[in-house]
Amino acid sequence: MTVQHDRDMAELELSRRSTPVAWLLRHEHEQSDAVAIRFEGQSTTWAQFGERVRSTAAVLAEHGVGVGDRVVVLMPNRPEFQHVALATMYLGAILVPVNFRLAAGEVSYLVSNSEPTVVVTDDSLLDTATAAVVEVSRAESGGVTTVLSVDSRADGGPSMAALAPVADPPAPAVVGYDDDAAIMYTSGTTGRPKGAVLSYQNFVVNALRTSKAWDLQEYDVMMLASPLFHIAAFCAWMGSVAGGATALLMPSTGFDATRVLDTMEAEGVTTTFLVPAQWQMLCDEPRVAQRDLKLRYLSWGAAPATEALLRRMMAAFPGAQIVAAFGQTETTASGVWLRAADSLRKIGSVGKAIYSTSIRVVDGRMNDVGVDEVGEIVYRGPGVMSRFWRNEEATAEAFRGGWFHSGDLVRRDAEGFLYVVDRIKDMIISGGENIYCAELENVIADHPSVAQVAVVGRDDEKWGEVPVAVIVPTDASNPPSLEDIRAFCDGRLARYKLPKGVVIQPEFPRSGTGKVQKNVLRELV
C-alpha cells in the first residue's frame, strides 16, 4: 500500500461525510479554478487551497501533530491562518485560535492550559509566542511545544515557508461528528479564560445554517473583517466553506470604515458579518449612500444593537437584507437568529431559536418565565459545546439543570421573539430594583447629541449601585449634560432607571472583536 493509496481511501471515506475538510475536497474537484480566498489583491483557488492545506498538514505531522493533539494558532488575519485551521482538522487534531492582541503572559496561560504540540505564528508575533512557550516550560515539566512560523525565520528556527514545499502529505483523519475540533477561549473578563470545546458537529451545524440563512452560493463574496480567532468570524468563514463562496479576508490592521467600503465596492462583496460598533462606523462614513455596492445580506451580532443603529443600517444599505445572529462561543457563535423577513417588523429583536436549537427563558430556579418577563436564556442542541476544557467545575455550573446557561437576560414577546435585556453580570441592582443596561442604552441612543452610549453601574452608599451613562457625543464641543439625558429619558423609562451620572469620552475601549469593554468603563466611572 502506498501513501497515495491510503490518502485516496481516506478521502473517499471523508466524501461520505459533511465536515469542513470534506467540503474543501468537494470544492477542489467541482470548482477547482473558482476563488476560495481573496486577501490584499491575491486570489487562492480551491485547488490551490487544497494543496496548501495538505502541505501544511504534512509539516504539522512532521512536528508530531496527530489525532487529538492541540495546535495553537497565534497570528493576525492572513490566508495562512485558514491553511493551518483546515490542516489541523485534516489531521484530526484540535485547533486552538488565540487572540493575537494578548500579552505573552496571557498567551502563556492558554498554552499551559491547552498543552499544544505546536504553536503556529508569524514573524509579527514570533517573540510573543516564543516568550509564552518559554514561560510555560520554565514553570512546568512535560512535553516540548514547538514554535513554528509560517514565515521564513532569520534565526533558523522551524518555518512553514521552508518546509511545506517538500513535505509529503499524510492521509486525512476520518473524524466523527462528536470528536473535538477546536478549543475557543472565552474573553475571561470575570476571571481566567475558559476553553469551550467545540466538536465537528458544532461547526457543521453552524456552517450549514449560516449558509442557508445567507443563501450562500458559489458566486457570493463574503467579507471577513473581524479577527478569525473570534468565534463569529471563524463560523462565518466556515459558512463560506460549506457554501463554496469566496472568503474575502481583511487584514487585522484596525477597522477603517472608508477602507472597508472601498473594498466592498471594488471586490463586489455580497454578504458580511460585523459587530454593531463596526456597522456604526460604516453608517457614519460620509459617502456611504453614494457607494455602488452588491450587498445582498448584512448580519450583526456579538453585542446588542440599538434600534437607532438598525434604522440607520436599513437606510444606509437599502438593497440588503439584515439578519441578526445572537449567541456566544459556547453555542458556536449563534443559537438565536432574526430572519431578514422579520427585521423591520421586529426591529430590536434577535429573533427566535435557530435551526435544531431548543431554548427556554427561565428564572433562577429554572422555572419558565411568562411573556414579556425577564429571564435567562438557556440552550440545548447540536450547536452547543460539549464542555469547558479541563474544567469540570465550570462545566457542571454551565450545564446545571441539563441546559446550557448563557448568562444573557432576555424577554420573549407573545409571538416568541426574543429581545436582549442585559448580561446577568452587567445588570444593575439599585435600591432592590433591577436595571437593565441595554434598555437604557436603547433609549439614550436616540438622543440627537449621542453618537454612542454604554451604561454601567457605579457603587452608591444609599442605593447600592446606580446607572451611569458613558457617552461619545456627536459633537465633542457640545456634549449632552446629565440634565439633558435625564429629561430625554423621563417619560420613556421609570424614574428609578434614569442615569445618575454622565461621563463623556472621545471613544470607547474595545476588545479585539469590537465589543465595548464594560469592565474598563466600570473602573473609569
Q: Is 190's pLDDT higher than 70?
A: no
The structural domain count of the chain equals 3
pLDDT higher than 60, residue 162: yes
pLDDT in the model for residue 113: 94
158 in Cβ contact with 148 (< 8 Å): yes
Q: Determine the average pLDDT of the residues in 53-77.
A: 95
In a domain, 290, yes or no: yes
Q: What is the pLDDT of residues 194-218, one digit of tens each?
A: 999 999 999 999 998 888 888 888 8
The CA distance from 79 to 43, in Å, is 10
In a domain, 292, yes or no: yes
Higher pLDDT, 95 or 187: 95
pTM of the model: 0.85
Q: Determine the pLDDT at residue 520.
A: 84
Rg (CA), the chain: 23
Dihedral of CA atoms 475, 479, 484, 490 in degrees, nearest 10, equals 70
For 503, list phi and psi in degrees, rounded to 5.
-120, 125
CATH number for the domain harbouring residue 499: 3.30.300.30
Residue 224 sits in the same domain as residue 355: yes
pLDDT of residue 309: 86
Going from the C-alpha of 413 to that of each of 47, 213, 327, 375, the distances in angstroms are: 48, 23, 19, 12
- The predicted pLDDT at position 13 comes to 67
* Residue 76 resides in a domain: yes
Note whether 313 and 232 are same-domain residues.
yes
Beta carbons within 8 Å of 410's beta carbon, 6+ residues apart: 350, 361, 374, 375, 376, 377, 418, 419, 420, 421
349 domain residue, yes or no: yes
Q: How far apart are the first and last CA of the chain?
A: 69
- Per-residue pLDDT at 289: 85
More confident residue, 463 or 370: 370
Q: What is the pLDDT of residue 512?
A: 62
Based on the fold, state whether residues 418 and 442 are members of the same structural domain: no
Is residue 171 a contact partner of residue 67, using CB atoms and an 8 Å limit? no
Mean pLDDT for the chain overall: 88
413 with 436, same domain: the answer is: no
Q: What is the pLDDT of residue 126?
A: 94
Answer yes or no: is pLDDT of 377 > 90. Answer: yes
Minimal CA–CA distance to 206: which of 235, 180, 230?
235
Task: Give, as one character, the DSSP assignment of residue 351.
Answer: B
Confidence of residue 179 (pLDDT cuts 50, 70, 90): very high
300-335 per-position pLDDT tens digit: 887 777 888 888 999 999 889 999 888 999 999 888
End residue of a domain, out of 133, 154, 175:
175
Secondary structure (3-state) at 349: coil
Taking residues 143-172, report their average pLDDT.
Answer: 78
Domain assignment present for 213: yes
Q: What are phi and psi of 50, to 5 degrees?
A: -60, -40
Same domain? For 162 and 236 the reply is no
The residues facing 422 across adjacent strands are 409
Are 509 and 364 part of one and the same domain?
A: no
Q: Are residues 265 and 338 in the same domain?
A: yes
The residue among 407, 424, 441 that closes a domain is 424
Burial 425-460 (b: 16+ CB within 10 A, else e): ebbbebeeeebbbbbbbbbbbebeebbbbbbbbbee
Strand order in the sheet with 464-473: 450-460, 464-473, 501-504
% of the chain at pLDDT higher than 90: 57
Residues 249 and 128 in one domain: no
Q: For residue 118, name the pLDDT band (cuts at 50, 70, 90).
A: very high
Q: Determine the Cα–Cα distance for residues 30 and 430; give it in Å rounded to an integer.
A: 61
Rounded to whole angstroms, the Cα distance separating 320 from 297 reads 5
Cell of 234: 471563524
Q: Does 181 reside within a domain?
A: no
Same domain membership, residue 219 and residue 344: yes
Q: Which of 124, 159, 175 is the last residue of a domain?
A: 175
Q: Say which residues have a Cβ less than 8 Å from residue 107's Cβ, sequence separation at least 6.
A: 74, 98, 128, 129, 132
> Whole domain around residue 371: which residue ranges?
207-385+398-424
Q: Rounded to an integer, what distance in angstroms lies between the CA atom of residue 478 and that of residue 495?
A: 25
Residue 200 lies in a domain: no
Least confident of 95-109, 141-155, 210-224, 336-350: 141-155
For 64, left (φ over 0), alpha (ψ -120 to 50), or beta? Answer: left
For residue range 396-411, list pLDDT tens digits in order: 999 999 999 998 899 9
Per-residue pLDDT, 518: 82
Element (H or E) spanning 119, and its range? strand 118-121
Give me the pLDDT at residue 241, please.
95
pLDDT value of position 430: 80
Question: How far is CA 329 from each of CA 89, 206, 348, rounded to the nearest angstrom?
Answer: 19, 12, 22
Q: How confident is the model at residue 480 (pLDDT cuts 50, 70, 90)?
A: very high
The yes-or-no verdict on residue 43 having pLDDT over 60 is: yes
Nearest 10 degrees: CA dihedral of 498, 500, 506, 507? -60
Q: Are 317 and 461 found together in one domain?
A: no
Residues 126 and 214 in one domain: no
CATH number for the domain including 250?
Answer: 3.40.50.12780
Q: What is the rounded average pLDDT of the residues 138-149?
A: 74
One domain, residues 165 and 228:
no
Tell me what pLDDT residue 142 has: 57
Name residues whose C-beta falls within 8 Å of residue 227's C-beta, 6 or more positions apart in sequence: 76, 77, 99, 100, 233, 252, 512, 513
C-alpha grid cell, residue 100: 493575537
Q: Which range, of 70-79, 243-252, 425-434, 467-476, averages the lowest pLDDT?
A: 425-434
Higher pLDDT, 120 or 436: 120
What's the rounded mean pLDDT across residues 481-510?
88
Does the pLDDT of residue 14 top 80, yes or no? no
Give the residue-averaged pLDDT of 346-365.
91
257: enclosing H helix or E strand: helix 257-267
Does residue 191 lie within any of the structural domains?
no
